[in-house]
Amino acid sequence: MKIVVLDGYTENPGDLSWDSLEKLGEVTIYDRTPSDMVIARIGDAEAIYANKVAITREIMDACPKMRFIGVLATGYNIVDVVAAKEKGITVCNIPTYGTAAVAQFAIAMLLEICHHVAHHSAAVHEGRWETNEDWCFWDFPLIELDGKIMGIIGFGRIGQATGKIARALGMKVIACDEYPSDCGRKIGKYVDMDTLIRTSDVISLHCPLLPATQGIINKDSIAKMKDGVIILNNSRGPLIVEQDLADSLNSGKIYAAGCDVVSTEPIRGDNPLLKAKNCYITPHISWAPKESRQRLMDIAVDNLIQFIKGTPVNVVYK
């Protein structure tokens, strides 16, 4: 079997091994593939893997031997699933691999906002503590989370994992989700969206990007929030109307925001969040600890193994 990985660098920049995949056939791995080279690189391959490279109907038409598309991520919007189903091409994703990592990162952003650890460490290394006339100093308000309300929008696996950590910090957890569960009730209290927006001290987004959730954080919802609320988003960038968030940060209505995702990635230079006050932006790395990426690779390889056996798993369509 010929296997092609079209954009494998972010999954494996060199600290993992493709050996388990190479046992399944003749494998060609590309770090990145520009759109005008996708068809040529797939060629007569039967199985391909992609992360952000779009696999369109045109590409499927031009590569008739393709039988398996493995998405190296949970989201599979890069694939024309309708065309794949019509052509009998199996499309598999990675439904869960980074739950712990993403939840951990959400709390990491929150703790950085509350304590500014990196800033104060840099200040010490610059000599400011050595020359300070008092025995300590701090440049920003320091925030204690115990007793504060964490509102989580989207209370699936990642939202619940985030809630568990928040509870360990002494926070009260409330959540809004279309599908309440007994597991969720053990972690937090389900409330309606309006209650969550109005009462939370911290709002953390862990919901999918759907028409109903696009722009869910906007000037109207922000107006209902407590003054000084903290917003966290390491789910999907378009959940937030970025200009509205930037305006609210600059006015002080929102105290701070932590964003690991933005509406267009890589971020554009004209993104208003880049110049907003107290906005922490990281380059979509919540998912990226080595342990998480190894889990992703293991599942991705197993998806192909199960396909070869005739018992496909994690198929994105029915």
Catalytic residue, candidates 22, 265, 268, 291: 265
For residue 19, give both structure tokens. Answer: 């050996």
State which amino acid sits at residue 175. A
Q: Quick check: bond before 13 cis, omega within 30?
A: no
Ordered DSSP codes for 177-221: -SS--HHHHTT-EE--HHHHHHH-SEEEE-----TTTTT-BSHHH
Rounded CA separation 253/227 (Å): 5
Residue 67's beta-bridge partner residues?
Answer: none
Rounded CA separation 157/161 (Å): 6
265 is catalytic: yes
3-state class (DSSP) for residue 258 = strand
284 is catalytic: yes
158-184: b (≥16 Cβ within 10 Å) or e: bbbbbbebbeebebbbbbbbeeeeeeb
CA angle, 52 as apex, 50 and 57 as ends, to 5°?
A: 70
- Asked if 42 and 68 count as a contact pair (C-beta separation under 8 A), the reply is no
Strands 68-71 vs 90-92: parallel, antiparallel or unpaired? parallel
Catalytic residue, candidates 116, 236, 293, 295: 236
268 is catalytic: no
- Asked if 248 and 227 count as a contact pair (C-beta separation under 8 A), the reply is no
Could you list the active site residues? 236, 265, 284
